[in-house]
Structure 1
Amino acid sequence: MAVYEQIGKGYDLTRRADPDIAARLAVHLQIKSNSSYLDVGCGTGNYTLALAKHGGIWHGIDQSKQMIDAAKNKSNFVAWQVAEAEALPYADEIFSGVLCTLAIHHFAALTPVFQEIYRVLMGGHLVLFTATPEQMSQYWLVEYFPEAIYKSAEQMPSLENIRLALNEAAFNSVDIKPYSISENLQDLFLYSGKYRPEIYLDENVRSGISTFALLASADEIAAGCQRLAADINTGRITDIVNKHENNHGDYLFVIADKVVNKANI
């Protein structure tokens, strides 16, 4: 994941595990203290370590050596490894759950990754946290950074494609749980400033968000921030935020099951 070698240096300045998201992930994974779990695309390990506090034996993989080095510096409690999601370095059926947060849009194709995850799962849940293009088109950020949001949404797999890839990988069932941004969100990913628009004026915040760090031009960022600052000062931003409110959630938890047929064991 070479793109994250570029933004990894200051990543942890603004990116940290949000306690509410971590708690929801733990519930969806149904963590058991004596079982093993894997975080695919773990980055610097923020959510891996947050989930490890809920129990279990944890492993984390990422393509970025820089991200894994940062994770190793935080804790040796997790078995960190540089690896490709399409070729997981594990034996068959050894994990009771697999986690992947805000990373599936970086995979060249979903089905090979989901097939590998299915292979290493002994039975249990794959839990994804992601956003769909349809959700992203509702972000009020499109008013200020239209090209960047369009490019970002374009690279996100649709819910239909996620379902199809999970089905192709033989997952038995898929459950969808919409997630809406809270005002005190601690992990400053793309739409974290839904109710705090001023954070997008902070270069440190933007540098930890791949949409701004990798997809937005300097000219678009400068012009968008200028308009955003003006609208914050006049109060017009409130109307913009309200105009883009929706009932479909800002992100999604996708929970897929691998059910083992005990009659065949």
Structure 2
Amino acid sequence: MTIKQNLRRLVVVAALAAIGAIPVPAAAQAADPMPPCAGPVQITSLTFNPAKIQPGQGSTLTMTAQNCTAQEQQASFFTYARFYRGADTGSIPPGCPVIDPLPPRTVTIAPGATFTATQGYSTFASCTADRLDGTVSLTVGSVATHATATLLIAPAPTCAVAYRTTSSWAGGFVAQVTISAIGTTPIQGWGLAFAFGGDQHITNAWNATTAQSGAAVTARNLEYNTNIAPGGSTTLGFMGTWQNSDAPPTAFTVNGAPCQTR
């Protein structure tokens, strides 16, 4: 297998498929809102599902188009995609492959009917892009229409946080939080942020300094636990009060970056 064939095998997961008058499940990330059905054939929906992935994961681009006329229409369409990073639109981000467009495909659409086409994409774990733009170009006779959807690519988290309520009673609780470095570089100085799910209020903390505003809490390292080596962890804890609910937090960031929740 050539390098180009291997890239195509990894990047293009599924060819355009599923032609027919079938409904399309809603997906999380859509292209810009489509205009009302006009012209011979209109692209009515273009979405990635899932809408956001990490490098090394995949997503499926789904297009739905409708025949806006009372006559049978023959349409030709093809899909192409490209990786981008930030404002740089002139080069392929490091670690990401060039994706060749698939050959055009011709379909016949019954009067007023819709058809659906899907194509799967995956990213290399080394890809540094922050998005993948997928574009569909559809032509009926001399009339062409285009639509683009964007797949967001976020780096894998470098931290993981485990929150445990170790003791709870009417109006009070004790909790323990463990921060782990799951990336390849150490966490050098850490600031943990989260929001309580209830109306808890911290009254005492250890292994960290804490500040609270409403449900929002920040906790910062002390002099002796500043760094967390790759594969290592540090633990902090606090005691607090509550009145109506002591529901735990469900999302955490360290130094502003989202963490895996354990």
Asked whether the two chains share a fold, i.e. TM above 0.5, the reply is no
Q: TM-score range by the shorter chain?
A: under 0.3
Q: Which has the higher contact order (CA 8 A, sep 6+)?
A: 1
TM-score (norm 1): 0.23
The structure having more radius of gyration, on CA atoms, is: 2
The structure where strand makes up a greater share of residues is: 2
